[in-house]
Structure formats: structure tokens, C-alpha cells
Structure 1
């Protein structure tokens, strides 16, 4: 997955020392003290580096790294000194350059994983969330969190300001939204194949989700916006980055895919923009992918070559 950043010693880390009697000497050897202090810090960093943690936890550690990480990203302070949330900008301002990625359903499990992967890529991220304060506490100023009804035209215009690509990790956004004027690419994670393959009580329970997924795909195809529809297998809470993949036709209805892998593929698809649009299926399998840009281009050529 994304490259791992250097380990960062938390500014809150404190090194405790045993109590020592005051020195009777009038002068202390500060250079020796500082040298020993630095040795302890380096030893602590090496100790922490040996601990293996999950990819998502690593990203969370980086986000919580404090001022050093915010400076590294070029982001401002996490919160104003009074703890208040900064008021929204004037909606009448001139539209800025379109270089942002908007994540719908930013509160969902996969939505949050998508946001984390985008942060690691240093992308400019906007997200639609239900709880703006919770999103601010989780992601800080790395994400511009927006709360509102996407069916409301003024709010939607504000949400799409500066947006180049939309990632939809859950069904329901595209089928309820209005015009996506100015958007240049939409990445949709679809479970339609899973819903179609369900039977019995599962088919009944997922009937509304299937309807929304069908509407999302239909609206997207008819929009005229270049799109990438990722029809994933059954999404599971298993660790990502451990298994390979399979892109065989019909695999999504029978196979499964890690949520972390699904989020990662959505982010990788952002920079591979088709001329019109293409749809592919993916599940965890045996094929190892070292170059996702090449893989997606290959899948695109294969789809365009089909009758």
C-alpha cells in the first residue's frame, strides 16, 4: 500500500528518570546530560519501530502525531485556541482550482479508510459527513468536512467547489444527488453483483440496497461524466494488503474482498481516468499487483475490447 512515513516521536512522550540527590558541585555537565537524553530517545524510537501494527493504525498514529506531522503536510493547527469550529466560507466566492477529491459517506467504515489513504497520498480531501465535529476530531484539518443535504442545490454547489473527483464508497449518493457540474471523474464502489447473487432472506433484506445500487450505476452511466465502477465481492472486515486479487467476470457475485483493499483500489482508481467510463469486478484472489496504474489500464483496454 502507500509508502510508510518515518516514525515520529510523539511530542507528548516523556522520559522518566529516577530521583537523584542534588549535586554538590556548583557547575553541572549539561553536554553529558543532553547526550544521554538523546540516546534514550533514539532507543525509544527503535523500540517503537520494531512493533508491527496494522496499516490503518499506522495512518492513525501519523494523523495523531501532532504539530510535526501537520508541519510536514503543510496543514494549519488542528483547532482554534478557543476550541471552536471555523465557520464556513462565503458561498459566493469564486470557484477555486479543481484539485480536490470528495468522499461521500465519509462516516462509513470504507469511507473513513478511503479518507485515510487519500491523506497518505497528500491529496486535498473533502468529505460529506453527518457529524462535523467528530470528523474534525478524527481527521483534523487534513479533511474539509461538510454536513448537509446533498439534494439541496446550494449545499451541493458548496460541496463540489474545487472538486475534481468523487469517490462513492456506499450506495445511495448518486441516486439522490442533482447535477455534478464540473466534476471530471466519479469512482463508484458497487455491491450490485453481491445483491443480485443473494437469495432467500438475504435478497429480501438487501432489496432496498440493490435498488439504490442499480439507480447509482444508471445515473452515473447516463451523466456523461467519465466514471469507474468497481463491482466488488462481499466486503469483509479482514486485513488488507495480505491477499492478491482476481478480476474474472462473475467473480464478484461469489467472492469476497477486504474493506481495506476495496478502499485502496478506490483511491488508486482516482488517477486513472477513462475517456468515458468502465466497469470491472474484483475480489481477493491469487494475482499480486505491483503496479495498479498498469493494472487498471489493462482492465480498461480489456473492457473496451469486449463486444
Structure 2
């Protein structure tokens, strides 16, 4: 695997784990099956969660549930236990942050540096969830024990929150790893494709898509006295130059500009665009060569120059 693609794998795995935690967490959040108990031997089974209290009618196999505002007046003498309200606030905040972290991680596929924000949201969600769940687990057991309930235990709604917490913690680590890997090796976004394989027996000389010159907002104004010299690297639109080594052994082309009257011409040797990963070749023209002790007279319209000499 290419080093520039490792951040993509880390980000995708983090999104998958966070998505599973998102599904399990919201199921656990909504169901009332967290703590079950029997007041005495042979009594009906009662259970409650964050938002509702239920009773299982054993002869008819029906379940009757009520929301806490109405259930607390019938079951807990008008006073809901404090640990339920505390857990509601912690778990609700944690699930909202988990959802925001997942959405931010999905946006990081286009803007990869958002992976840092996704990691921060996931870590914060993990903290709220890992604090809220033990509060409910311990306090609900103590409450049943203090009332003298014959039997009490935890149901699947409570246990679904455990893998939610574990998966969200792993997702936070993967999001953080994706941000660090992108900062060190990556470029582009999740849709950018680059292959480091040899093409026609040659390796690519340009690594990834790079900005040519400074950003648009950082360039000098058009009428600025400071001249702006763009970089001479090949354009990103030219896939041919980004995948093949440019040859520097061919002779340069010659540009001549001549007037109607005899006058020195402007001659410039131009070669291929300069690429920083290969040494450029420099050429110059030598002095005109003629008979010894005889002045060279230019009677034509072009400048007389000597042979082409390679200096580097």
C-alpha cells in the first residue's frame, strides 16, 4: 500500500466503526430494557430505561409502558431517582456528539483535515458515554438493593451501550491517525488516485498533486511593482508529465526574432520545462569562427553565432 493512501484506510475504518456505534447507541438510547427487577417471588417483571417504565403482564403476555413523567407518580411515589436524570443528560450529550463526529468524519473524505475535529468529537462523546453508563449501572443496582427487590439484573438495552463505547473509542483513534497520516504523507482527498507503479519501465517523478506557486489570495496584485514569477513545474492537468520521466538529452529549440534591416537578432535557447527532480541541461552559443586576423562582417539579416556548446 502506498504511504499516501494509508490515511484513507484509517478514515474509512473509523467511519465504519463509528457507524456501527451510531446504530447500536441509538437503539440502546431509545429502548426501555435497561434494568429489570421483581419486587418479590412470583411477582410481575418490571423494567425501565432512560425514558420509560414497563411491566410484563405474565398471564396475557402483554407489556404496558409509560413515560417517566407519568410513571414516576405511580411507581416511585412521585419522585424519579436522581441517577436516571443524570444518565439521561450524559448519554444524550454523548450520542449527539457521536452523531456529529460521524458526520464530520464523512465530510473529512472531501476535506481530510476535518479528521482532527472528528477525532475530538468522538473522544468527547466517549467520555460522556463512559461516565454515564456506570452511573446508571451502579445506582440502579443500589436502588433495587435498598428497596429489597427479590431479583434485579440488566437487560440488552444497557449492554448495547458497551460496544458503542468501545467502538467509538477505536473510531476516535482511527480518525486521529487519519489526520496525522494525511498531514505527513497524504494529498488530495478520498477520491484522489495515485499509483506509484512503474510505467513503461520508469517510475513517476512527481509524487502527488501539488499547487503550482502560492495560493491565489497570496499572489501579488496584478498591477503590483513586485513581479510574479510562477513556478516552472508541469501543470497538474498534464497527466503525461506526471507519469513519465522527461528526457533532457534532446537539443533545445531556437527562437529568432529578426527585423527588416540588418541588426542583431534576439536568440534564446529554450528547453523543456524544469522539473526539480532531474538536473537541467544548459546550452550557450560560442563565438563566431572565421579566418585568423580577419574581421567577421555580418551582411545578412541574422546574427552570426558559433557552435552550440553544452555547459552542464
Query: Whose relative contact order is higher, 1 or 2, with alpha carbons under 8 Å and at least 6 apart?
Result: 2
Fold shared, TM-score > 0.5 on shorter chain: no
Larger radius of gyration: 2
TM-score by length of 2: 0.24
TM-score by length of 1: 0.24
